Amino acid sequence: MTWNNRHSLFAGLSLIVLVNAIALAGVAWNRSEPADSRLQVSERELSHSYPYWRKDNSGIALRLNYRWPNSKPNDYSYASLRQLSPEQMGAVGFKVPKELNDDSVRRYRRQLDRDGLLVLEFNGPLYQQQLQMAAEQLEKSRADLAALADNKQLIESHKQARETLQREQTSASRLFVIDAGSDLASLRARYPDRQRYAVVQGRFAAWAWHDAGRWQIGGSAQVPVAESINLPQRWHAVFAKLPRRPDTPGFPHSGGEPLLNAELVFGKRLEPWVVEFSAGQSEAQP
């Protein structure tokens, strides 16, 4: 049989159909019951993923906002990336040296990025710790300022502490990375509450740095599925009319965000999707 353009076209169309069928089957399996976890979030954890917006694209993509322990609101500094301990990096399969020197650190740092699992805690003890630390810092700055009321540096520190606590109370994400590993069953045994803890796929990278003249090692991780979560068409009209957070007197840039409530479900492939979506209300200001 002679291969011609008609055969090539048929083969190409068949491949497209097969790939789409596999993708749809994966989505269906991910969303089959029982789900792995369910989180009730707000605009603090779920926001518009603007980099994916185009004029010729009618879809709406949302971004899952998560944080690291002891991080400040909207902290994207270099230091904030070094959040995984050597033990956690070993748990996801990295070879962690027992002794740290130039050679062992070089080998550790050269390891390729790899996939693993991250545990996200929603509105739990880690968030309460962040609130407490922010409140304590405000109290300290208030006491310092009372002793030297005209000190410009203390005035600025007190202002920043007030703004940090206000953000923690009203707008900062309450979703924190709490643990890492490679075995879902083991992680679920440690974190069984499926309305408080979600397990997601992460992409891990090895880090090493000098601290006080000594090598330190650890790692960082990202959550690829957090970058773009599709909002189904049936809620686009709701999204377009979301109310905005009002400005708080005395706090610059405290308002403007679209207010929403959503239920996120994480399926068998640990990928999230939106099952409920509605307009939110502004929380009471402190």
* Tens digits of residue pLDDT in 158-173: 999 999 999 999 999 9
- Number of domains present in the structure of the chain: 1
| 174 domain-assigned | no
Q: Is residue 244 part of a domain?
A: yes
The answer to whether residue 130 sits within a structural domain is no
Position 239 in a domain: yes
Helix, coil or strand: residue 205: strand
Please tell me the predicted confidence (pLDDT) of residue 190: 97
Q: Give the model confidence (pLDDT) of 252-286 as tens digits.
A: 888 888 999 999 999 989 999 999 999 998 765 54
In a domain, 258, yes or no: yes
Q: Is the pLDDT of residue 71 over 80?
A: no
What average pLDDT does the structure give for the chain?
Answer: 85
166 is a domain residue: no
Q: Are 135 and 144 in contact (CB under 8 A)?
A: no
Helices 125-147 and 152-170: crossing angle, nearest 10°?
160
The neighbouring-strand residues paired with 218 are: 207
- Section 72-93 average pLDDT: 73
Res 124 pLDDT > 90: yes
pLDDT at site 15? 56
DSSP 8-state assignment for residue 50: G
- pLDDT for residue 90: 96
Q: Report the pLDDT value the prediction gives residue 225, as an integer from 0 to 100.
A: 92
Residues 6+ apart with CB under 8 A from 204: 84, 89, 92, 94, 113, 114, 115, 116, 180, 219, 220, 221
- Examine residue 42 and state whether it is found in any structural domain, yes or no: yes
| pLDDT for 24 | 46
Per the CB < 8 A criterion, the answer to whether 262 and 41 are in contact is yes
Parent domain of 44: 38-66+225-286
Residue 119 φ then ψ, to 5°: -105, 125
- 265 within domain boundaries: yes
Averaged pLDDT for residues 188-206: 96
Task: Give the model's confidence band at 52: pLDDT under 50 very low, under 70 low, under 90 confident, else very high.
Answer: very low
Alpha-carbon distance of 242 to 255, in angstroms, equals 13
Please tell me the pTM assigned to this model.
0.83
